[in-house]
Structure 1
Amino acid sequence: MVTTKAYAPASIGNVSLGFDILGAALAPVDGQNLGDWVAVSDAEQFSLTVDGRFADRLPPGTENNIVTKCYDFFQDALATKGVAKLKVSMHLHKALPIGSGLGSSASSIVAAFYALNAHANRPFDKDTLLLMMGELEGQISGSVHYDNVAPSYLGGMTLMTGQDAPVALCLPSFEEWYWVACYSGLSVSTAAARRILPKEFDMQTCLTFGRQIGVFIDALYRGDKKLASSVMTDVIAEQHRKSLLPHFDEARSYAKAQGALAFGISGSGPTVFAVADSLSTAQAVQTWLNEHYIQNEDGFSHICKIDTAGTRVVSE
């Protein structure tokens, strides 16, 4: 029996200043995996099994699992392409919490599509696969966006183009930066977090948003860490979403007082992230977040670097 297993890392959506158009993949510095994996195995009849720390939080019933939806979507796409359907079973290892702001659904989706495509000898190219991933992610969040699926798939920091091809561009990042990601243990619905936002923004906010993106990308390419970190503020979502995150303001104040370069909400939250230019600063922020921001036993934190590998096939 042939098995193909793919791992997809967790990700930070928005990266504060890039609502819906920036994302970054995460790799803990201690070597742990922070992401889901999906295995595809030859089988006469489809079945799905699940395990992992957060498997019991998934919707009941195989038909309601997003991995099953990926399988159905992929099979239909094969048929449209004139390629024989796969005869496989699948297994999901659910390591990321649902509604965490770490790209949990995106990680499962990306790992599933990547494993299916690899098992089928890669009938779909990168952009076609990304479009599939975005469409499935949209079914959960209520709108198609790529700020989690793209970095999880491609690795690194990604900028979404708004085009069918290329769907996303990979940006430079700073190897010296540490990214502290802390999940509080609560759950925030992406769809609900989008509903809390205004439908329209004033011109000054739009100008600030566009200016920050332009300055940030320029700073990344020129290697100007100080300038890049200076514009990592969220003028779109944070002021509205932080009401869903207990102790957010206190966490930000502490992180900045310790010398963090930036602090913000990861995706829709409740995970928050801090950027530091030294391990000692990252450790100090992590310690405070562990003691004051985590709300229950589900919470956790990691000190990370940017995962430049993205989704990959891994051995059993």
Structure 2
Amino acid sequence: MSVKVFAPISIGNVNVGFDILGLAVAPLDGSLIGDLVEVSKADSVQQENNLLVRGTHCDRLPSDKKQNIVWQCIFAFNRALKKVHKRCVFINMILEKNIPNSSGLGSSACSVVAAIYALNEFYLRPFNEKQLLALMVDLEAEISGSRHYDNVAPCYLGGLQLIIETKDKVSQALPIFDDCFWVLAYPDVIVSTKTAREILPKTLDIKTAVAYGQKIAGFIDASYRQDKQQAFELLEDVIAEPYRKHLLPNFEMAKKILMSYGCLAVGISGSGPTLFAVTDDMVIAEKAQLWLEEYYIQTDQGFAKICKIDLTGTRVV
């Protein structure tokens, strides 16, 4: 038996929901930007697990497989199987890494979600959604440095996910504006997630906390009422962007120009360095993409893509 799954990229925070909001996206050109993981049973003489890594961005992964997060997923999943008295077998895993590390697009979440989802399918779904999310977030935290679901949940479940972490549910899908385009630009500069978190203040003043609450509450309200003008007027980051914007190349200039083009909102995807801009006009989206390709991307490994929301999330392919 062989199982192959795809996990899509995602925008963490989405400006207004620091650590509690995430959006899965897919390029309009049909390219599978994200991770593919294939799991199959090892042959009887192998007597060990094996990992093969390939893909457009595999060269930036650790050369030692023991340091690769998907290798760690195999053993974490096996431990979970043993707790429910399920038998595990030796497997072959192939990771096709088609997203750069430290991109602000949920790279580590893509790998973890794809691996855990594939293993769960391979073993005929021994774990439910909540159990899988718990496994995924614990493993992703080993890379990102903190335990949060804002990439894991949308990558796994698709759509726009609000992290609620109640007794019975981790996240709640929010209504989306399905006529909007999300332009993503990855400049190919290094911004480590841990560094981007360490630069943030440990506490917030009352004024900032109130502003954050107003904006996230107002955005959720507008989403349910499908009030696009209010939703994107409130799509502002008052917590992370003031501290992280200096880590990105020409971010303030890019934001000013893209807003002048008519974009509804511009922000930092996750911890950066990827920038996102949202518009409901394809002409504006194409204009933004061209500008970002010319002035924001720093190397030929960078890219700018026009995307729509990925409502499916991780799936068997």
Sort the TM-score into its range (normalised by shorter chain).
over 0.9
**Counterparts of 1:294 and 1:189, CA distance in 2:** 17
Stretches (4+) displaced over 4 A: none
- CA deviation after TM superposition for structure 1 residue 181, in Å: 0.5
2:157 counterpart residue number = 154
Q: How many Å separate the matches in 1 of 2:63 and 2:182?
A: 34
Letter in 1 for 2:97: K
Matched with 1:277 is: 280
Report matched runs for 1:180-195 at 5 Å.
180-195=183-198
| Cα distance between partner residues in 2 of 1:281 and 1:131 | 39
| 1:29 positional shift | 1.1
1:48–1:90: 8 Å Cα contact kept in structure 2? yes
**C-alpha contact (below 8 Å) 2:108/2:144 kept by paired residues:** no
1:145-197 C-alpha deviation (Å, 9 max, x unpaired): 01001000000000001335311111111111000000001121111100000
TM-score normalised by structure 2 residue count: 0.97
Contact 1:26–1:34 at 8 Å: present in 2 too?
A: no
Please give the alpha-carbon distance, in whole angstroms, between the structure 2 residues aligned to 1:14 and 1:290: 23
User: Are 1:127 and 1:164, in contact at CA under 8 Å, matched by a contact in 2?
Assistant: no
User: Residue in 2 aligned with 1:135?
Assistant: 138
| 1:146 partner letter | Y
Q: Which residue in the other structure is 2:209 paired with?
A: 206
- The equivalent of 1:229 in structure 2 is 232
Percent of residue pairs bearing the same amino acid type: 50
Q: Deviations over 1:225-280 (max 9, x none)?
A: 00100100000000100110011011101110000000000000000000001110
Cα deviation, residue 87, structure 1 = 2.5
Asked if 2 retains the 8 angstrom alpha-carbon contact of 1:110 and 1:153, the reply is: yes
| CA offsets 1:203-232 (integer angstroms, 9 cap, x no match) | 111111111111111111111100100100
For each residue in 1:21-70, what CA deviation from the matched residue of structure 2 results, as whole angstroms up to 9, or x when unmatched?
Answer: 00000111111111111000111431000111110100111111000011
Query: Which sits farther off after the overlay, 255-264 or 185-194?
Result: 185-194
C-alpha distance in 2, partners of 1:272/1:216? 20
Number of paired residues? 313
Q: What amino acid maps onto 2:248 in structure 1?
A: L
Q: Matches of 1:135 and 1:70 in 2, distance apart?
A: 10
Q: Write out aligned runs for 1:9-48 (5 A).
A: 9-44=8-43, 45-48=48-51
Partner of 2:171: 168
Alignment partner of 2:98: what SS? coil
CA distance in 2, matches of 1:86, 1:214: 47
SS in 1 for 2:109: helix
Unaligned segments of structure 1, at least 5 residues: none
Residues in 1 aligned to 2:176 and 2:115: alpha-carbon distance in whole angstroms: 27
Letter in 2 for 1:167: V
Alignment partner of 1:251: what SS?
Answer: helix
Contact 2:249/2:296, CA 8 A, preserved across alignment: yes
Deviations 1:79-98 (A, max 9, x none): 01111113311000000000
- Separation in 2 of the partners of 1:163 and 1:117? 23
What do the CA deviations read for 1:255-309 (whole angstroms, capped 9, x no partner)? Answer: 1000000000000000000000111000001100000000112100110000000
